[in-house]
Every structure is written in structure tokens, then in C-alpha cells.
Chain A
């Protein structure tokens, strides 16, 4: 049951439990000997029942009973159904008895399912039993799970089950299991397009229903979770969408080999590559799989696009589903610039294959075209130190047109029934503006406003809500200080969406770094950001300044595949494992993580387990790695292009020991902590 404090056992109760333990032990050993000798006599079976009544969790005993049933069934005459029934009824009895002792015994519920699958029980009896258990504990998820099992067997209509959840919720709307079951049933009914369950009307009806709960008791979590589920259903499309790419549609990029490009390039994105390839990045609004050369076709005069290898950019190990996919297109920088302009056409979704984790295909086929200029390599590669301070930056010309093509964001298609979604969100916003001075009201309102922003497709209307959203989260931090970190994260997300909502606001943070081919630098320093967001709109950024914020990790940055210079100094990063996502940034050559809280002694970050304790302290070359540096070793070891690293001002990096490790792990490193390394 829920919310009941545990009472300490009294002295006599403790004594009694000692006695019970002894009895249970002897029972168990007797049972085990029966089990091993495959004794299935009536007496032996009864012993197992006794054991289960004392200890419903004795899994072996449940399995033993299954074997015994099979054994007994094989002996009797099949033609007499009453015999079969009596054997199976005996099992149901035992389960009922055990459940009386423990309502939440996994073994017991599973055993009952097993018996039922033999097909010899009256389902009415099952539902009655369930009603009993659900009265005892409304939110017993075992009983709810079992219910859906029985319902499936009896082919009860989902509409009837939906009514059952309504009845249960009307009794007590804090019944989370009932709400949860309701969401499952509705998903299924909507998916089947059952009569009266079109998405539009269903969602409206459910919003109206759950309002009653939220307004009656705004602090009730069950209703609140259900509301968030509904909101998700309203905003999210079932089918995945490609929301952005680099290069973006209609953009012009300049490619050059290693070295300093001298021409005036202020209008375009310049991309330098030592390897003679450039990344092609696709970003989807949900994790997808199946991005490969057969689902994505690339047409261009450039060579080497026939067998493009698409790789997911994903921090987790499954690596099958990812929002970001990258392929590398090769170009020949040594070739004379006879062809200065190459058009590249990328089309995806023409043949099925790109599917979301829910199994939905990408909604509509899509294609985009960009132009590539290839320039000659001039001079030698630059080895100068990159400085984040000083005057190396030029302001971005806000009026320049190429910005538009850079950031050109794919707006959500207006045709896929967006009107009702927008209308629904609008109605919800009106509704929650009425819930006064309540933290839940404010939080829901903030989320609704964010949702509406994502649904707005015209530029004129974009960004109107951010001021209010930021204010709401600021209010919430004051109102509910125990969750202020959560609100701060949400505030950061809103702020980043605000910054990226228009070219105008974004251009205020954009610069060009003169000393490095005038590459695009985005400066988001001093914004009290605690979390990264809106990265899908920042795929073009090569240089990023996030210094003087409150970031705890580099999560999200892995999407920005063009990043070569990153400043994370003066943040709140506590370990190298929090920088794990940087391992996926293959272009990263300059990294500043100075003045964080990366600690040496115990780099334990309970939120991530990047380096589950290594089996040995040696790396593959046999080098000894002190365990406290293991996570640093793992992260830095993957940054193949790193030339400049600044780790000053962290507790971890105290002295020569770490510096020498870094030098070994990052062979290409030229600048460490502002000093040029002797080569």
C-alpha cells in the first residue's frame, strides 16, 4: 500500500519471526529434496503449498508446482475434464491463498497466468477476484496487469475497460494505475481509429476530463502525469520528421583543405578539412533507425558519395536509434578548382526504412539542395593558440542574407492536422491562465506556452511567449525552491529556444573568428545556462562559447558535429564523465574546461556510468592509468584532433602526473593550459 509508515517490529514479534524463520528453513529443505527427486505425490505438493503460503516469493516452489501439474496432467485421462479442472482449481486456490499473504507476489500472479493459459477457469471468477484485490489496494499494478491479461483472454471490449477506468477514477482520481491504464486503452483505440476515438475529439474529451482532477486538487500527481501524457499526444506527431540538416537547403558552403583560407568568405560558411571530407548531418525530431545509403540518396558531382556510411550520433550503447545521423562526403581539395560550384541534392524517405522506435515511417519524402565551393589549399595549417578573449571576433552582419540560409529551419508541415492541435493548445492555455497562484498551474502554463511555440510556423508569431515563459520559471524558482534546479534547466531550455527563435535574436550572439578562416562563433556566455537545448538549430556552429554558465555536463553538444572549438570554462562540470558526449565530436580541436569543479579524488558522478570500473588499470598499449584518471583517459583518448586543451582551475589537475597523462593520451596536443608543448 502507499504512504504508510513502516512500524518497527516489537520484541515479541521479532521472537516470533525468528521461530518462523526456523520453520521456514526446515520446510524449504524438505521441499528442495522433493523437488530434486521429482516427487509429485499429493503430500509433496501440499508441502510446496505450505511453503508458498509462508513465503509467496519462493520462485522455485512455483516452478515445482508447474512441473507437478504437468506431471499430474500427463497421468490422468484427458477425456475427463473434471479431473483436469480439479487439478487446476487447486492451483488457483493456492495462488488466492498466497495473494492474501502478499498482494504483490510476482510469482503468484505469474503462476495464475500460467494456469489460466491452460484454459480452465471461469473468467467471471477471475474478474471478481480482481475486483476484490483492487478494492484492497487501488493501485496494485500486479492486479491491473493481470486484469489486462484476463481482459484480452475474454475479449472484453476496450470501451468497456475504458469505462472501468472511468469508474475507478471517479472513486478516487489519485489512482495512478487507473489513469495509466486509461492512457494505454486510449492509445490503442485511437490507433485503431475506433468509432468515437479520432485523435482530435479524444484528446479534447480527455483534457476536459482531467481538468476536473487538476482543478480539484492541483497537487495530485496522478492527474498531473496524465495531463503531461495528453500534452505529449497533442504536440508530438506519431511519424518522425526531419527537422534540420547541415548543410541546410539552399545554403552555400566553402570547403578547403587544411590551412588558412585567405579569400574573403564573410558571406559563407567555410569548412576546413584535413581529411578531405565534410559531414552531412540530418536531425530528426525523434530517434530513428534505418538511415543508410538506400534510404538517403545523395546526388552531386562530387566523388565518393555512392556508398555513404551513415552513422548515428548517440551517446548510448544501443546505437540503433538516434536523432542525429552523420555521413562523410569526400571532396578532392587538390584538384584544380575547375569546378568551383557543385550542387548536392539529398533526398530521403522515398523508400521506406527510416522508422522511429515506435515503428512509424518518416512522414513525407523530403529533399534539399546545397552548393559546395571547393577552394585550393593555401599555406600550411595554422598552429596558433585560439584565444576566447581579446579582439579576434567580428560581429555578424545582422542584415546579411546568408544567415537566413544558415539557420533556415524546417518548419513543421502545416498540413498534418496541425490546426486542431494548435487550437487545443490555445484552449488549454486559456484554461490554465485561470488557475491562480499555483505552482502546478504555472508549470503547466509554461509547458503549454512552450508547446505552442513549437507549433507556431510563421515567423511573425514566433517567439511571442518566451518572455512569459521565462517569467513563469523565475516565479517557480522563488515559489518552490526545492525544485529550483529543475526549473533552472527548463529556464535554460526556454532561453536557448528564445535565442534561436529568429535570425535577428541569434545574430546578436554570432561572431566570426578572424584567426581561423572567419569561422562562425556562437557566444552564449554569461546566460546562467544549466542545460543545453535547441541544438538542432545550431548545426552550423563551429566555434561555441558557453563559458560562465552553470552547465553540469556537455550533454546535447554531440549533435553539433561541426564544432571544432568549445569553451566550457567557468561552469559546474564535476567530472570528465560529464564530458562524455564530446567523444562524439570528431572535429573538436580546441577545448577549454578550465575553472570547473572537476575533482580528482572521487570523480564519482552518480548520474552517469560512463566508465564502469575498468577491469584493469592499463589501456590497450599496456600503459598504467591511475583509476582516478580513468574517465579523463576515456574522454580525451577519443578526441583525436585535439590540439589545444585548457584544464586549469580544476581540483583534479594538480601537477605533472595529470599533464603527462594528457600528453600521452592526446598525441596531437600543442597547447596545454596556455603553454605550447615542446614537441
Chain B
């Protein structure tokens, strides 16, 4: 970043809020703050919007992953906090979120030709649930005007046999399913009806069948057993509809045993998503041009409300009050000092441990959320991206595939999710598809191993000519791999630290529910306001009956 052109100085240099990073949470905060009348400066060190939620071309994605996978060596030996007049400046360091990055191209010629026609997500696989909180926020804020969606046509459950079976997630899907027996259809539909009556109950209390309080507090997996659902259906409900990660049947390895109450909530989100927009094919939609469109839409909304945007602008240091230790402002890479009441930062921004030692207790307290935490025994998420020629399932372009725990190999501890997206979503050239893989893991090796297993199940690796003899027939039918990226991402939670707060990294979930909910909560703590986008009256016009609220392209 040494070749950056000189910046013209920013004017004004005083803001209510400075936001660094244009991820989903940061962008929501910037949009919310600007629309409530605060003056906001929104910065991003990258030349694109979205930070870790961005959708990039293959070369840009490659360079982003590489540059964020190793801690850049401090350009100069750590400067002790400099003492200039009444401010003290504390240098910032960049924390890398990614490890074990491995990028391989198997057909560089073709990819070279099309490289700019890719919009590949960093945070994949990720979709939007129609009843997701992110959709509500977009409608509330007006960001929905800047994004268009398409439906994910199908979702499947896979296993080691390579067969992909439709997820029977609706009445019509259960009816059509060829993999369920008649009795299973009966039990599954009865269960869905029970969930629906449970949901209807909370709206207006009638004498419908209810799930007892005791059951609500028991593990969801036990409740499903109690409902006499056979293992294959339990697995579909847990991993392909409730989208759980951990093996709910394995107490030793399961880090999150879901309660029935939570399980019903997750099913409720899915069921509500199915019926929310009449022109959506199912519960899941995806933004055309990639997930980067979402944070960008909030940014555009913020800009309309007066937020100032500067890209390619890292911040190098924080400015604290020498006396009180309170936060005052930031120093930009251009050298300019900008002041604000509050500061929201990308999860990658930390203070170097060396700098901390020389600070006062008050100053340390101000910087609390920026102190790197020890990463012991923390879960990570392994992600993979494959560009393939053809599709993993004929006649289907955009599809979700879930491999429940143990479905691919006995030691598989967590569910593996795969999202295939096609050129209809403007993420890749025609006749190719982009596949996203993810799974939770304890360490990089374990995660990468799981992803490779899922990839092997779906995709054919190009082999040298001499080996082609041993290829069997089933391999021939699989689509051919052209490009692959593997990386492991740390999961960083957002943290409220009074004046300075840190936003979370992309989480392990398929949707934005938790991301957006935590962003909203953080924002409310930071700004002390009760509700985001409160004064926006557009919500009235974009009630759920109004299909025009969210643009879903039907083709």
C-alpha cells in the first residue's frame, strides 16, 4: 500500500462516529447512525466495499486472502506511543483472520480469460432467508432498493454414496419426495403441522396442540426422537432445515446442544421464509452479484443520508487524551488526524501488545476491545471455493447441499454445507458454477480434510493424462474442477467497549440472522438509541404483503 496516491485532506475533520471496515455489521451501523442524523465517516482500507463480506474477482480474492493470512511485519519497529501536545497516539496492528490459505488453478487459461467475470464471496457459503432479520433491516432502512435477489432453487442432503436427495421442506416437497417412505411422509408432515400450530399459538392463543414446557427445554434431538421421527428425517430437520453444525447425537464433540425451543425457532424462521414472498421459490434467496451487494446497499443508504465514504484508507493509529485516557480520534494512513465521539472498528484491527505496556490504566481501559485475545481451543471455520465446469446436479443451477455429521466419513464431527451458484446470479461465466463449502473445525487440518472429502464427493479433480485410465464411470459424470481456494477463518465476536467497539467477523452460519442481530444490539449499546432506522416510515409501505419490498428475480 506504499504506492497509494496522495490523499486530499478530509474536511470536516470532526464526526460523531467513525466506522472502519465495510462489512455487514459496520455498514448497518453506518447507515443507522447517518439516518438518525449523526455525522459519520466510513473508512475502508480496501479498494472495495464489504471487507470480509466482499464479493471479488478471482485475482482480487487471491490477493486479499494472501495479504490477510499473514500478519504483515511492522513496517518500522514499534513506535512508542508518541507524545504530541495533549494527545497520545497508539499504533494499530492488523490481525489476520485467515490461515492455511491454499489456492490452486487447474485451467489458468480459461480463468485468465474470464477472471473479471467472477464475483466470488469471501464469506461463503451464505444465503439470505426470506424472513431473515437482514431483510427486515433492508426494508426498514431502504437498502432494499439497491439489491436484487434470486431464489435458491433446491436444497439437498448428501452422503458418501454421492447421491443428492431433495430436502422435503414443504408440503409439496414431501408429496414429491422419492426418498421418503409413505410412513415417513406422514410423520414428517405431522411434525411440521405441530410446529406450525405451535407458531400459530403464540399469535393468538387457541386450543391447538402445544409442545409442553418440559419438551421445550429438552434437547431438540430428543424431542424429535419422541415424535417417532426416524434417523434420516431427524438428520434432515437438524442439519438441512435448522442448519445446525454440531452432531447432536454425539455429546462429547457437540459444543452446542440445541434445545427444542431454539430448534422450533430455527424451523419457524425457515417456515416463515418459505411463505414470505410469493415470487420466491423456497426459503432461501441470494443477492445477484454476490454477498458484497448487501453491505454495499447499506453503505449507499448511508451515503444518501450524508455519510462520508473514503476507500483505500487504512487508519494507522488511535488518538487518546493524554490526561483522561479517553478516545479522541484516529490517524489516517494519509497522516491526517480525524476526531470523533465514537469509533467502530473492523475485527482485524488490534493494538500491538508492545504498545500497551507503556499506557496508563485508563488508556488501557479505553482500548480494551482492541487487545488481542489468546486463541485457545477456539473453533474456526474452514471455507472452500471451487469453480467448476457443469453442475453437481443436472437441471439445477442454484442449490444448497448439506452433508450432516458422519454422512461422509465416520470422524466427520460437524455438518458441511455446500452452496452452488450459477451465472444467473452474475457470479461466474455461463456454463460454470461457483461452489462454496464450509464446516466448523477445531483446527485447520481437520477442517480442510472435511472440505476435501465433500469436494471429492461432488467434483472431479483434473488428473494427469497417464492416470486417466483408472477413472471410473461415476467420476466421469461429476463436474470438472477448474479453480479452488481453501482457507480457514477465525471466528471473532463483536465487542462493545464503550466509546470504541469492535465488530464481529463473518460467522459460521448460513444466513445473517446472528450477524445482524448482534450488529443491532451493538449499535444500540454504542449509540444508546432504542431502535434502528426508527424514523424511516417506509416500513409501512413494505409490509410483508408487499412483494415489491424485496426484488426477487424470477428467472
Contacts and interface: CB of A to CB of B under 8 A. Distances in A.
Given A170-B176, A171-B172, A173-B172, A212 B185 contact: yes
Contact of B172 (A170, A215, A435): A170
Interface string A210-224: 011101111000000
B183 A170 contact: no
Interface in A164-186: 170-173
Interface residues of A, number: 15
Contact of B175 (A170, A435, A436): A170
Given A216-B189, A217-B189, A434 B183 contact: yes
B175 A216 contact: yes
Contacts of B185: 212, 215-216
A431 interface: yes
Interface string A505-544: 0000000000000000000000000000000000000000
B172 A218 contact: no
A431 B186 CA distance: 13
A216 B171 contact: yes
Contacts of A172: 171-172
B170 to A, nearest CB: 10
Most chain B CB atoms below 10 A, which of A171, A173, A212, A436: A212
A211 B185 CA distance: 10
Given A217-B171, A217-B189, A212 B183 contact: no
B10 interface: no
Contacts of A212: 175-176, 182, 185
Nearest to A212: B175
A217 B176 CA distance: 12
Interface string B171-205: 11011100000110110010000000000000000
A210 to B, nearest CB: 10
A173 B186 contact: no
Contacts of A173: 171-172, 175
Contacts of A170: 172, 175-176
Contacts of B189: 215-217
A212 B184 CA distance: 10
Contacts of A211: 182
Interface string B131-175: 000000000000000000000000000000000000000011011
Most chain A CB atoms below 10 A, which of B172, B175, B186, B189: B175
A67 to B, nearest CB: 42
A139 to B, nearest CB: 15
A218 B174 CA distance: 13
B174 A216 contact: yes
Contacts of B175: 170, 173, 212-213, 216
Interface string A428-448: 000100111000000000000
Most chain B CB atoms below 10 A, which of A217, A218, A435, A436: A217
A235 B533 CA distance: 66
B302 to A, nearest CB: 39
A215 B182 contact: yes
B450 to A, nearest CB: 34
A434 B183 CA distance: 7
A494 B171 CA distance: 35
Most chain A CB atoms below 10 A, which of B171, B182, B185, B189: B182
Nearest to B186: A215
B179 to A, nearest CB: 12
A264 to B, nearest CB: 62
Nearest to A170: B176
A430 to B, nearest CB: 11
A435 B176 contact: no
A216 B189 CA distance: 6
B249 to A, nearest CB: 25
Nearest to A174: B171
B176 A218 contact: no
A667 to B, nearest CB: 63
Contacts of A215: 182-183, 185-186, 189
Nearest to B189: A216
Nearest to A434: B183
Nearest to A435: B186
Nearest to B177: A212
A310 B182 CA distance: 52
A434 B171 contact: no
Contacts of B182: 211-212, 215, 431, 434-435
Contacts of A436: 186
B396 to A, nearest CB: 16
A215 to B, nearest CB: 4
B196 to A, nearest CB: 12
Nearest to A441: B186
A435 B176 CA distance: 18
A114 B189 CA distance: 46
A431 B182 CA distance: 9
B420 to A, nearest CB: 23
Contacts of B174: 216
Nearest to B168: A216
A171 B175 CA distance: 9
Interface in A594-608: none
Nearest to B183: A434
A211 B177 CA distance: 12
A453 B175 CA distance: 31
A655 B429 CA distance: 97
A66 to B, nearest CB: 38
A171 B176 CA distance: 9
Interface string A39-80: 000000000000000000000000000000000000000000
B79 to A, nearest CB: 67
Nearest to A217: B189
Interface string A167-209: 0001111000000000000000000000000000000000000
Contacts of A217: 171, 189
A412 to B, nearest CB: 30
A435 B190 CA distance: 12
A435 B186 CA distance: 8
Nearest to A169: B175
Contacts of A213: 175
B168 to A, nearest CB: 9
Contacts of B183: 215, 434-435
Interface in A648-674: none
A52 B182 CA distance: 50
Interface string A154-172: 0000000000000000111
Most chain B CB atoms below 10 A, which of A215, A216, A218, A436: A216
A577 B312 CA distance: 94
Contacts of B186: 215-216, 218, 435-436
Contacts of A216: 171, 174-175, 185-186, 189
A223 to B, nearest CB: 9
A172 B173 CA distance: 10
Interface in A69-116: none
A217 B193 CA distance: 10
Nearest to B178: A212
A199 B175 CA distance: 24
Contacts of B172: 170-173
Interface string B296-322: 000000000000000000000000000
A215 B186 CA distance: 5
Interface string B329-370: 000000000000000000000000000000000000000000
A647 to B, nearest CB: 48
Given A170-B176, A173-B175, A216-B174, 6 more contacts: A211-B182, A212-B175, A212-B176, A217-B189, A218-B186, A431-B182
Interface of B: 171-172, 174-176, 182-183, 185-186, 189
Interface of A: 170-173, 211-213, 215-218, 431, 434-436
3 closest A-B pairs (Cβ-Cβ)? A215-B182, A215-B186, A215-B185
15 contacts: A170-B172, A170-B175, A173-B171, A173-B172, A212-B182, A212-B185, A213-B175, A215-B182, A215-B186, A216-B171, A216-B185, A217-B189, A218-B186, A434-B183, A435-B183
